[in-house]
Amino acid sequence: MTNHTIEHTIIIGAGPCGLAAAIELQREGISPLIIEKRNIVHSISQYPTYMHFFSSPENLEIGDIPFTTANEKPSRLEALNYYRTASQRHNVRVQPFETVLSIERTEDGFKLSGEDRFGNPRVRYCRHVIIATGYFDHPNRLGIPGEEKDKVSHFFREAHPYAGMEVAIIGGSNSAIDAALELERVGAKVTVVYRGAQYSSSIKPWVRPTFEGKVTKGAISMKFSSRVVEIADTYVVIQHEDSEEKLANDFVLALTGFHPDRGFLMESGVTIEAEGYPTFDENTMQTNVPGIYLAGVVASKLEANEIFIESGRFHGRKIVQHMLDQQK
């Protein structure tokens, strides 16, 4: 006989997909608890200050709450307001600034051990776990000398601090292109170093002509088929196909993407397929551990951006349906 409270479901992560899963559970009379190590939709709060989404607002909606905006594409600030409002209107139970460190199987479910933001231990029990942890805390590292220097960042927030500086941007995705344009506007000298031989096909079509125009005019330097192999205090070393270049540099933005925390999944008993993604049923989102489900980008297979809010927000419905089927 247990003497502790057992939650029906604990969701780890209060991103849009975690919130959407909580709302789906509520519709079936289940009141899940979300544990979030920072704040609600923390990953979005980490996006560049003036960023606009690629998705249209209706493709970001959760809980049947309309996402209205005066713009064609919603901004970061509008998204923060929207998801905060959606969680409040649905009275979603969220415990922010608490970190789950381990998941253990118990006789009647799972034991989640962790700590609050002051390091005090926290233990919770539940029958089901939904892992919706995202990926923004785990940037893809370069693995080169100098990557640990203070001048290097895997995040870009806003351009102002870099005004007048020599900035190297590593990457060729939308985040790299958007950052380069913002930096150029404030007077930074920008060099984009990209391993691809030509522009990425994923670049937003309304942004690419502007960027190409800047490159053609020499306002932004674009280096294809290249990679940074060393970062020093006052320069970077760039390896081209058949030559090497030392370039004066003040700051490096390594915008090379992110990946989910596979280690946490493995420690929880979730197996990893040979291709590197976690074992789960796409129809139910349940992993090889009965009672542990995945929601959102943590369920991505090859690329972290293959699952975004547009598709991940529907994972909760699959999970709830499986839980209900199990009760029959």
* Percent of the chain residues past pLDDT 70, beyond the cut: 97
pTM exceeds cut of 0.75: yes
| Average predicted confidence (pLDDT) for the chain | 92
Residue 300: what pLDDT? 80
Nearest alpha-carbon partner for 131 in 252, 291, 314, 323: 291
| 97 dihedral zone (left: phi>0; alpha: psi -120 to 50; beta) | left
Could you give all domains of the chain from N- to C-terminal order, each with its CATH number?
6-138+258-327 (3.50.50.60), 152-254 (3.50.50.60)
Q: Is the pLDDT of residue 254 over 70?
A: yes
User: What pairing do the DSSP bridges indicate for beta strands 6-12 and 121-131?
Assistant: parallel
- The average pLDDT across 60-87 equals 93
In the chain, the N- to C-terminal Cα span, in Å, equals 25
Distance CA 264, CA 270 (A): 9
* Separation CA 158–CA 172 (nearest Å): 18
Helix (H, G, I), strand (E, B) or coil at 168: strand
Confidence category of residue 78, pLDDT binned at 50, 70, 90: very high
Residue 171 has pLDDT above 90, yes or no: yes
Cα R_g (the chain), whole angstroms? 22
pLDDT score of 55 more than 90: no
The string of pLDDT tens digits covering residues 87-122 is 999 999 999 999 999 999 999 999 999 999 999 999
